[in-house]
Structure 1
């Protein structure tokens, strides 16, 4: 099942322009305590669901692996927009590092984490598909990114709980 929010080619071209012109690595903290810089290393501690029980629910996320493979994954976010995530071998999944290009933008007043996977040797400008997740919450040491997926006639949400 493909994520419903894979960015279309036309919108992707706009996203590429926005990535290079307006993206940032900082997000306003919901408690008003200032901006939180997302650059650094984050680890997915848990994955939770809204709108469906995760018992027996299997879905491939980010055109890569089942959501359960991302528990324990490390995301290295570099201020330049370059980065990677690594799926650990302990998950029994296709372990290894995936190179990404990432940024944060505001859509309708809400911060959104955007990324696209980069095959070896690819330039971000040449990749037309990407992924976006709403920044549901963020502090200096924790973050929840929410992925929305259209499934069986309704929208469900996958929440990725990160810590530093």
Structure 2
């Protein structure tokens, strides 16, 4: 009887230790390969953008990302981006990224830090992926309302 109770206790402890992380870590390799290469962020859009300013990725005004250049390397999930908008401060950073099985794009901005030391990141919806375009949608709080900010990317040939 003791063995049965011990076995049941072990099984329950294993089940209770299962991760319930909201960001899946299983990768969607096919989509990652589709994103491999150089891209230009051509448009940032969200409702009431003419009245409300949004800071993208806790860095700068979202309009500063228009024209930015992005590189995604799918075999090691690294990459980089550079802000090139003349109306804004120039900025560039390395990133780590992946696409999980839920179709979410998960990214950390490294800023000369190693990925394991960066405690924050961004989880965006990845939609409308084609050979030449894709969109990332970030959900941000604007005046207490969940607002989707859409980043439109076009392949840079």
> What TM-score bracket applies, with the shorter chain setting the length?
0.7 to 0.9
| Coordinate RMSD, CA, aligned | 2.3
Who is 1:39 aligned against?
36
Which of the residues 9, 24, 27 maps onto 1:23?
A: 27
Q: Which structure ranks higher in relative contact order (CA pairs < 8 Å, sequence separation ≥ 6)?
A: 1
Q: Is there any run of 5+ residues in structure 2 with no aligned partner, and where?
A: 1-18
**Whole-Å Cα distance in 1 between the matches of residues 92 and 29 of structure 2?**
21
User: Where is the helix percentage greater, Structure 1 or Structure 2?
Assistant: 2
TM-score by length of 1: 0.74
**Whole-Å Cα distance in 2 between the matches of residues 41 and 116 of structure 1?**
18
2:113 aligned with 1:117: no
- 1:26-83 Cα distance to aligned partner (Å, 9 max, x none): 32xxxxxxx861111111111111xx31102111110111100000001101121111
**Whole-Å Cα distance in 1 between the matches of residues 29 and 38 of structure 2?**
13
TM-score by length of 2: 0.77
2:66 aligned with 1:75: no
Q: Is there any run of 5+ residues in structure 1 with no aligned partner, and where?
A: 1-10, 28-34
Larger of the two Rg values belongs to structure: 2
Number of residue pairs the alignment of both structures matches:
135
